[in-house]
A and B are shown apart, each in its own frame.
Chain A
């Protein structure tokens, strides 16, 4: 069974940093591209970042470029999102999502709250 489990969320002060992790199981992690998608409270879905299976291709939304860094460790079946210089606008549930031929599998999400 494919599983994606996010961790590392929580409360952080404005200007602070946080590192999210997404641990994958039930499939060959190194075969798949991965994404981070977020959803602010009461708002719609916002794509955040993409990383290809080998980490060769990486893309970011304009809203996070220069502050967030996506990475992966295929040996550990893990995806990461390093988030720096956080603001209140980054408060959201963050989902990791697997991309094969379809965006079929998503984690349950992890809440990040940026507040003083």
Chain B
């Protein structure tokens, strides 16, 4: 089974900062990686699909890159409304594992 290792598990940054989260797959998943945002008590919201494609309606400050086993998610300028937990997920082959999550807080 493919394991997804996401880091860091939490981070604190200032409004306007650039935030980067990484996700590593235990084997090649090509570009089949999603990034989600989950706010407290809500369902996950898809932000990025196929590693680098921005979901419709998602602000352009969110971006993703990578392929194979190493992926990066970036918020170019952190906003107060970005406070949430972010998850990566591979969907190349089942089981469609999620990373452990990154909790983003404002400093």
**Chain A residues in 8 Å Cβ range of B97:** 47
A50 touching B94 in the complex, CB below 8 Å, given contacts A44-B100, A103-B34: yes
B8-38: CB near A (< 8 Å → 1, else 0) gives 0000000000000000000000000010101
- Chain B contact surface mostly: loop
A109-B55 Cα distance, complex, nearest whole Å: 21
A95 pairs with B95, CB closer than 8 A: no
A61 lies within 8 A of chain B by Cβ: yes
Is A1's beta carbon under 8 Å from chain B? no
CA distance A29 to B13 in the complex (A): 42
Interface size on A, residues (CB 8 A): 21
Return chain A residues, CB-CB under 8 Å to B36.
45
As a 0/1 sequence over residues 82 to 108 of chain A, the CB contacts with chain B under 8 angstroms (1 = contact) are 000000000000010001011110111
User: Which residue on chain A has the smallest CB distance to residue B93?
Assistant: A59
Q: Chain B residues near A104 (CB, 8 Å)?
A: 46, 49, 55
CA distance A85 to B45 in the complex (A): 31
